[in-house]
Chains A and B, each alone.
Chain A
Amino acid sequence: MDGLEKAKKILAEYDGPSFRIMEVCGTHTHEIFRQGVRKMLPEQIQMISGPGCPVCVTPVGFIDEAVYLALEKGCTVCTFGDLVRVPGTELSLQLARGKGAKVKVVYSPPDAEAYAKEHPEEQVVFLSVGFETTTPSSCIAVRNAVRDDLTNFSLLTANKTMPAAYDAMKDSTDLFLYPGHVHAISGTKACEDLVKEGVSGVCAGFTGKELLTALAIAAVEFPKGKPFFRNAYPRVVRPEGSPAAQAMVADMMEPEDAEWRGIGVLPASGMRLREEYADYDARKKYDIPAIQGHGNPACRCGTVLKGEITPRQCPLFRKACTPEHPVGACMVSSEGACSAWYLYNNKED
């Protein structure tokens, strides 16, 4: 029997106690729906989509800051495409475009730096969101800007680190499905440390087979009643992670308290550029005033992110809030829980 069949068998024959397992990665959420993973699980195993999509946890105020830079300071805002349609307090970047904002979609932070180099007449700001996987490439962009002597490139940072989220969410789930890409960079120490606090989890890859294998491991280990951590993605995730990426980020950035949409401020969960790189920090460079963002009060993205309700239980879902007209970030991002529920909703479910 191959690995996939074995995993399917373990899950199909599971007769242990019920448990909840939270995936904390937007790519996991998307693949779980795309592959139909939930449909392969016995009823005792419930999956929760946690706060792992960087777009979804980015607070409204961050969008307001970006709109401010684009409209008030005339900056060219470079961003990952998903952020363009996320509503701010008054405007999304897409709507700001209609008012003359220059918004350019890029696929990596170094692309934004390259754009700044080619357009010295523009002040370019990259919207630096993302977890451990994308933060190193923001650092590379800044390093390139230093190398190229650019004075027209900076980051608006909202980078975040996962361990604080694990800590904040650990009471909402019995187990974590840890994101392989994050731990390929940061290593597995955070997961091992959580075992000492009684928090279990499995680190997983991203194909249907890898996801089912990780879930089967959870189903084998959970009934034993002892906290555990298993790395089900050893091909990519090593205990030490990527020391080079870790060192670069530690050299250029430092932790700060950060707001997570729907969850609140988590201590030391964000990353900002160190003082030596202040020239590349858009908040300092443009002296952005404190902006308190306000989302649509009816939007339940926050409780969805905490796994307290499913998207379907939000009163806006499929009515006022659709991928074409998103109200909350979880519907905008293709990796958001609401978007996945919307796209993969099956009438026979």
Chain B
Amino acid sequence: MTDMVTLAHGAGGKQTSELIKKVFRAHFENQYFTADDASVLPAPKGKMAMTTDGFIVSPAFFPGGNIGKLSICGTVNDLSCMGARPLYMTCAFVIEEGFPLDNLEKIAAAMERTADEVGVKLVAGDTKVAGKGQCDGVFITTTGVGEILPGVETSGALAKPGDAVLVTGDIGRHGCTILLQRDEYGIDADVTSDCAPLWNPVHALLEAVPDVHVIRDATRGGVGTVLYEIAEESGVGVQLMADQVPVDPAVQGVTGMLGLEPMYLACEGRLVVIVPGEEADKALEVLRGQKYTEGATKIGKITDRQPGRVLMTTSIGAETILPQPGNELLPRIC
């Protein structure tokens, strides 16, 4: 095998088989991973959730992860937000001719590790090779199927006045990490992406507090955009305490310099969770006991004032509005 991906790897012949065997099968092997045209799977017991997501992040490797880990986290987290245990995933790769096989191997290894953490099985895949310059490095699309836990119903439309608004950790790290990696700004700061698969903490949360109203992962557009979506879909107001929103000091420093609002920077391992007010303490206790959500904290509440808007009590105690999400800013962060 050569040390980089060639057009022959995508031609469907011997080299394709070799690539699948040495890279993908080596990492994704399980009883359902198939060489047939489609994999045959046992049906989930309850209601199903299904989602798909494309990943084109640049650069493909960044502190805290790579595009492979991200492609599993993104889909796992989308399923988790619906209260669905991730069962099966498929992945489709578009690889640029000349992409180093070493890197492809690292990406597949990260996918394996991340999938194993939550017990999701990669059951089918596809590999295409695009000519040099026709794509940038590697693009991955993942699709996932999950089984919704019995009795759980989450939706962006279910937030109610009196509910508590939680985030599961400090915000804006992924967006900030990618920004710094692009090296266009001449800023050095020690920031690591928060990219993480969140099914385990979500599972623990739903076991303890089945009546969770909303779970959303704060990816593109960040926590601010998610809160505006929920305010709109549920027809409620959101009241935040600016001082309670956790932001890493390095992220704060970078965004301060660049004039960005951390509330609108992407996360890849943070959830906005909305629970009945009286369940907030219990939910926080459970989340804080789980890996990846140790930093869970309450940042505000749902109100019936100014439906569709997100208000903020600032550090000086004044009430202001969180500006609406703008036409930002960073392409290719996920």
Q: How far is the CB of A336 from chain B (nearest CB, A)?
A: 13
Q: Is the CB of A212 within 8 A of B316?
A: yes
Of all chain A residues, which has the CB nearest B323?
A343
Give per-residue flags for B290-334: 1 if the beta carbon is below 8 A from chain A beta carbons, else 0. Answer: 000000000000000110010100111111110110110000000
Given A35-B315, A37-B318, A111 and B186 contact (CB-CB distance below 8 Å): yes
Of all chain B residues, the one with the shortest Cβ separation from A212 is: B316
Inter-chain contacts of B320 with A (CB < 8 A): 33-36, 39, 344, 346
Q: A36-B318, A208-B314, A348-B306 are in contact. Are A323 and B326 (CB under 8 A)?
A: yes
Binary B-proximity of A323-343 (CB < 8 A = 1, otherwise 0): 110000000001000000001
CB within 8 A of B318: which of A35, A345, A347?
A: A35
Instruction: Name the residue of chain A whose CB is nearest to the CB of B260.
Output: A334
| A40 lies within 8 A of B317 (CB) | yes
A347 CA to B311 CA in the complex, in Å?
11
Q: Given that A343-B324, A347-B306 are known contacts, is A208 also in contact with B316, CB under 8 Å in the complex? A: yes
A36-B314 contact, Cβ under 8 Å, with A111-B186, A324-B327, A344-B321: yes
User: Could you say which of B184, B305, B314, B319 has the most chain A C-beta atoms within 10 Å of its C-beta?
Assistant: B314
* A238 contacts chain B at the CB level, 8 A cutoff: no
A22-38 to B contact mask, C-beta < 8 Å, 1/0: 00000000000111110
B1 at the interface (CB under 8 A from A): no
With A345-B321, A346-B320 in contact, do A108 and B186 touch (Cβ < 8 Å)? yes
Q: Are A346 and B321 also in contact (CB < 8 A) when A108-B186, A324-B327, A334-B259 are? A: yes
A9 CB, nearest partner CB in chain B, Å: 12
Which residue of A has the minimal Cβ distance to B326? A323
Contact indicator B306/A40 (Cβ below 8 Å): no
Residues of chain B with a CB closer than 8 A to A209's CB = 315-316
Flag if B185 contacts A8 (CB, 8 Å).
Answer: no
Residue B43, interface by CB 8 Å = no
Q: A111-B186, A334-B259, A343-B323 are in contact. Are A40 and B309 (CB under 8 A)?
A: no
Given A107-B186, A344-B323: A8 in contact with B317 (beta carbons within 8 A): yes
B306: nearest residue on chain A (CB-CB)? A347
Q: Is the CB of A8 within 8 A of B316?
A: yes
Q: Which residues of B contact A278 (CB under 8 A)?
A: none
A107 touches B185 (CB 8 A): yes
Closest CB of chain B to A131's CB: distance in Å?
16
B317: which A residues are within 8 A, CB to CB? 8, 40
- CB contact between B258 and one of A33, A35, A107, A343 (< 8 Å): that residue: A107
User: Across the interface, which residues of A come within 8 angstroms of B318, CB to CB?
Assistant: 35-37, 39-40, 208
Q: Which residue of B lies closest to A346 (CB)?
A: B321
Residues of B within 8 A of A207 (CB): 315
State whether the Cβ of A268 lies closer than 8 Å to any Cβ in chain B. no
A265 within 8 A of B: no
In the bound complex, CA of A209 to CA of B242 (Å): 14
Contact status B186-A35, CB under 8 Å: no
Complex CA gap A343/B320 in Å reads: 10
A291 contacts chain B at the CB level, 8 A cutoff:
no
Q: In chain B, residues 185-222, which have Cβ atoms closer than 8 Å to a Cβ of chain A?
A: 185-187
> Do the beta carbons of B316 and A4 come within 8 Å of each other?
yes
B186 touches A36 (CB 8 A): no
**Residue in chain B with minimal CB distance to A347:** B306
> A181-207 CB contact bits vs B (8 Å, 1 = yes)?
000000000000000000000000001
CB contacts (< 8 Å) of B309 on chain A: these are 347
Q: Which residues on A sit within 8 Å (CB–CB) of B324?
A: 343
Nearest-neighbor residue (CB-CB) of B257 within chain A:
A107
A64 → B minimal CB distance (Å): 25
Per-position 1/0 for B93-133, Cβ under 8 A of A: 00000000000000000000000000000000000000000
State the CA gap A34–B258 with chains docked (Å): 16
Interface residues of B in 251-274 (CB under 8 A from A): 257-259
Distance in angstroms from B81 CB to nearest chain A CB is 29
Q: Bound state CA distance, A4 and B259, in angstroms? A: 25
Q: Given A347-B309, A348-B306, answer yes or no on A36-B258 (Cβ-Cβ < 8 Å).
A: no
**Whole-angstrom CA separation of A144 from B305 in the bound complex:** 55
The minimal Cβ–Cβ distance linking A84 to chain B, given in whole angstroms, is 12
Q: In the complex, which residues of chain B have a beta carbon less than 8 angstroms from the beta carbon of A108?
A: 186
Q: Which residues of B contact A8 (CB under 8 A)?
A: 316-317
Q: How far is the CA of A75 from the CA of B326 in the complex (A)?
A: 30
B311 nearest CB neighbor, chain A only: A346
Give bound CA distance, A36 to B319, whole Å. Answer: 6
CB of A300 to closest CB in B, whole Å? 22
Residue of B nearest to A105 (CB): B184
Q: For B305, what are the chain A residues with a Cβ–Cβ distance below 8 Å?
A: 348
- In the complex, per-residue mask of A216-253: 1 if CB is within 8 Å of any chain B CB, else 0: 00000000000000000000000000000000000000
What is the bound-complex CA distance between A343 and B185, given in angstroms?
26
A13 to chain B, nearest CB (A): 16
Chain A's closest residue to B258 (CB) is A107
Q: Residue of B at shortest CB range from A114?
A: B186
Contact A208 B319 (CB under 8 A): no
What CA separation (Å) do A343 and B323 show in the bound complex?
A: 5
CA distance A334 to B326 in the complex (A): 11
Closest CB in chain A relative to B231 CB, distance in Å: 13
In residues 292-349 of chain A, which contact B (Cβ within 8 Å)? 323-324, 334, 343-348
Q: Mark each residue of chain A from 97 to 114: 1 if its CB lies under 8 Å from any CB of chain B, else 0.
A: 000000000011001000
| Residue numbers in A under 8 Å from B314 (CB-CB) | 34-36, 208
Which B residues lie within 8 Å of A345 (CB)? 321
Q: Can you name 19 A-B pairs with beta carbons within 8 Å?
A: A4-B316, A8-B316, A8-B317, A33-B320, A35-B314, A35-B315, A35-B316, A36-B319, A39-B320, A107-B185, A107-B257, A107-B258, A111-B186, A207-B315, A208-B315, A212-B316, A323-B327, A324-B327, A346-B306
Interface of B toward A, CB cutoff 8 Å: 184-187, 257-259, 305-306, 309, 311, 314-321, 323-324, 326-327
Residues of chain A touching chain B, judged by Cβ–Cβ distance below 8 Å, are: 4, 8, 33-37, 39-40, 107-108, 111, 207-209, 212, 323-324, 334, 343-348
Known: A4-B316, A37-B318. 9 other contacts (CB 8 A): A8-B317, A35-B315, A35-B320, A40-B317, A209-B316, A212-B316, A334-B259, A346-B319, A347-B306
A-B residue pairs, 8 tightest by C-beta: A36-B318, A36-B320, A343-B323, A208-B316, A39-B318, A35-B314, A346-B321, A36-B314
